[in-house]
């Protein structure tokens, strides 16, 4: 992910529920293209979040930019199909579409290049993420305490997954430090899951 894209993300902080609803009303009811673009831009962090989660499993085959590009298509589908009359959190709804498109891209690659466990984990998360969490929980015992905590927040054990910034607030660490911890933990987890 290039620096220009990272800088662009900083321009579009997450929206609260009221802001989201206002933009959705403008887009759905008034066909406001500006609102549509804002919905995309302010939710790109969600795409990057899941691209980061999957990238450590497929880094030898796909780049994080590949995953982000496909995840963006999923985000657009989520925005177009989201029903504001339903009592569903948009981030939860969008995560399904984002992961769906990323996983379809992964499955289009030569599956022989992936470990069988990796394919199983990736495919099952869209329908039910309990299996991936079970495997990760077992592997967590091999991590340091701060790595365990960061990974549990990152993958959403016991609730919604958190961004690096949110994890940093919970652990009283900088976003950069959390990123370093999770990167190191991912490498360990990848090796453990392959066993």
Domains and CATH numbers, the chain: 15-114 (1.20.120.1810), 128-195 (1.10.10.10)
Give pLDDT, residue 87: 75
pTM: 0.60
Secondary structure, 3-state, 69-99: HHHHHHHHHHHHHCCCCCCCCHHHHHHHHHH
List, for residues 41-94, the tens digit of each pLDDT value: 999 989 988 888 777 767 667 888 899 999 999 999 999 999 888 877 898 889
Residue 10 CB neighbours (<10 A):
8
Low-confidence residues of the chain, pLDDT below 50?
Answer: 115-117, 123, 126-129, 195
d(CA 81, CA 126): 17
């Amino acid at each position: 992910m290039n620096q220009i894209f990272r800088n662009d993300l900083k321009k579009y902080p997450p929206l609260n529920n009221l802001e989201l609803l206002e933009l959705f009303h403008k887009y759905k009811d008034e066909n406001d293209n500006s609102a549509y673009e804002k919905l995309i831009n302010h939710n790109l962090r969600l795409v990057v979040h899941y691209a980061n989660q999957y990238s450590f499993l497929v880094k030898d085959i796909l780049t994080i930019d590949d995953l982000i590009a496909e995840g963006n298509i999923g985000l657009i589908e989520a925005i177009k199909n989201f029903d504001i009359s339903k009592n569903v959190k948009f981030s939860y709804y969008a995560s399904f579409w984002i992961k769906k498109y990323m996983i379809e891209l992964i499955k289009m690659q030569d599956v022989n290049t992936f470990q069988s466990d990796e394919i199983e984990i990736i495919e099952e998360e869209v329908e039910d993420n309990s299996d991936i969490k079970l495997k990760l929980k077992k592997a967590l015992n091999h991590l340091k305490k701060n790595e365990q905590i960061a990974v549990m927040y990152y993958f959403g054990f016991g609730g919604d997954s958190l961004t690096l910034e949110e994890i940093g607030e919970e652990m009283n660490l900088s976003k950069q430090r959390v990123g370093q911890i999770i990167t190191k933990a991912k490498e360990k987890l990848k090796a453990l899951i392959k066993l």
